[in-house]
Chain A
């Protein structure tokens, strides 16, 4: 069965510093990959997604992610974090087109000024 691992439960970065959130998946084929952000008590907002093609994906709010097949990873990055980026971030994997998603445990990002 497919699984998603986000090894960091909490990450704290200074405002203006760079950010990388890790995501590893377990699946035999190339999955459909997503990053979502959730503010407390809110739904999920899509940051970016990867289906095929260029392995470096640009998303909203200045985020990007890189798919590395050899490492089964899809890490999320941002060169300069803003205080408003503080939230919880979820990596998700879909096996097939339009099929259900499996979510990682999430990473809570704290931004210190």
Chain B
């Protein structure tokens, strides 16, 4: 079946630095990918939808200048958390659309210290 690889699985960074998270579709082409954020013991909140070759669509309240999304190829989307702060610490999960289904990455635990 469809596989989405997400890296890194865990990252610790210093406050003020930037962190890049990669999401790759391994055996299919993903024209659309979704980025979610999940706080502890909470549900997934959609941050943005990225479409290959075009600008991402951000959900209301998500800072596009802070959470940079790039979907430069049919198999790779990246989320860069810029000038990270402790409140950005969270679990980030990507999802790729394959047909009418959705395949999720294994998530990235970001801790900003």
How many chain B residues touch A (CB < 8 A): the figure is 24
Q: State whether B46 touches A51 (Cβ < 8 A).
A: no
Q: Which chain A positions have C-beta within 8 A of B107?
A: 41-43
Interface residues on A, range: 20 to 34
Q: A103-B43, A106-B43 are in contact. Are A43 and B100 (CB under 8 A)?
A: no
Docked pose: A42 CA to B45 CA in angstroms: 16
Q: Are B104 and A43 in contact (CB under 8 A)?
A: yes
Q: What's the least CB distance linking B43 to chain A, in Å?
A: 5
CB-defined contacts of B4 to chain A, threshold 8 Å: 43
Tell me the bound Cα distance from A98 to B30 in angstroms: 11
B75 interfacial contact with A, CB 8 Å: no
Judge whether A98 and B104 touch: CB under 8 Å.
no
Q: Report the Cα distance A41→B103, complex, angstroms.
A: 16
**B101 sits at the interface (CB 8 A):** yes
Binding site for A on B (CB under 8 A): 4, 6, 32, 34, 42-46, 49, 91, 93, 95, 97, 99-107, 109
